[in-house]
Amino acid sequence: MNVPNKFPELERIDKITHRFKKLGVNFEREVLSTIDYKGKEYPVHGFVIGSKDTSVPTFGLFGGVHGLEKIGTHIILNYLSSLSYRVSMNDFVKKAFESVRFVSIPMVNPVGVRHNKRGNGNGVDLMRNSPTEAVGKKIPFASGHRKSSKIWWYQGRKGVLEKESETLINFVKEQMFSSEFSMALDVHSGFGMKDRVWYPYSKTADSFPDEKKAVMFKRLMKLINPFHIYHVEPQSDSYLIDGDLWDYMYDLQHFNPKYSGTFLPWTLEMGSWSWVKKNPFQLFQATGLFHPIKPHRVKRTMRRHWWLLDFFTNSVANHENWEKLIK
């Protein structure tokens, strides 16, 4: 029989849950699924904060898809924690949650986070695991492959969705697809020197149907904060991948006439190579390329992206205003 588990990220989730429960806003935290790995249980938690009406504007924040990139999970947990304090201290914030929703899975791949693995317990790279196939110039292995679970970027067996992928898809479907306007931000680290904010597609260099809206959002970002640090671009500008879960979910929502709202999935890819450049010792540590090691750099990374998360939250809540303003 599998036994429940304990590790820092799970304990943090429990603490934050405890605080939210006392705040008088609608709050749910649910164990969406449980992953069994080597005799232990790894819960995947989903948070829903704010209005119960799934048609209102919704911001979804996701992390820990690649377990090694645990800084993403930490950034989200810090944001959730801060949000809990702000809800209790700031009536404007509390009031806002009556008409918007904030949803989150801070740790999509708990086995990976706990054991410093990119993939899940089966060695599958969840961000290569959906049924979509890329068309265009792919990078051998890194764009996704089905050769062996021992090699990074393994997509898993054809036609088989991993439990974590299924959990994420079902949660996004239930919590975001029916919204009049929703944006997701999936937090990653480990590619390049710059901090990038990517919009779809990653399966093709062709534009995605909501490209115009994504570009409007990019302009809004520049208007609100002309000195922001992000390179905002389609993911396909960097590389193409097979099996991207967000491409898959975007198509699922966009091409289903049942849903009339806009669903824009974004990825924050923190350029962690600069962490290594400044601290080459990181190369020799398991999580080195993907997680800043020196405490001051962890703090700096937390601070650096704070603005972006607030900007997404505010932009989702006020989407009608900027959609009218920006042409």
Residues that bind Zn ion (CB under 5 A): 66, 69, 188
Are the CB atoms for 37 and 146 separated by under 8 Å?
Answer: no
* Residue 229 beta carbon to Zn ion: minimum distance, rounded to whole angstroms: 19
CB-wise, 101 or 188, nearer to Zn ion? 188
| Residue 80: C-alpha distances to residues 74, 85, 125, 157 (Å) | 10, 9, 26, 35
CB-wise, 163 or 188, nearer to Zn ion? 188
CB-wise, 114 or 188, nearer to Zn ion? 188
User: For residues 179 and 265, what is the distance between their CA atoms, to the nearest angstrom?
Assistant: 13
Are the CB atoms for 192 and 269 separated by under 8 Å?
Answer: yes
CB-wise, 169 or 289, nearer to Zn ion? 289
Residue keyed to tokens 């997701």: 184
How many other C-beta atoms lie within 10 A of the C-beta of residue 129?
29
Are the CB atoms for 230 and 269 separated by under 8 Å?
Answer: no
Residue, CB closest to Zn ion:
188
User: For residues 267 and 312, what is the distance between their CA atoms, to the nearest angstrom?
Assistant: 12
* Residue 122 beta carbon to Zn ion: minimum distance, rounded to whole angstroms: 17
**Would residue 312 be called left, alpha or beta, if left means φ above 0 and alpha means ψ between -120 and 50 degrees?**
alpha
* Residue 134 beta carbon to Zn ion: minimum distance, rounded to whole angstroms: 16
* Residue 186 beta carbon to Zn ion: minimum distance, rounded to whole angstroms: 8
CB-wise, 70 or 188, nearer to Zn ion? 188
* Residue 224 beta carbon to Zn ion: minimum distance, rounded to whole angstroms: 27
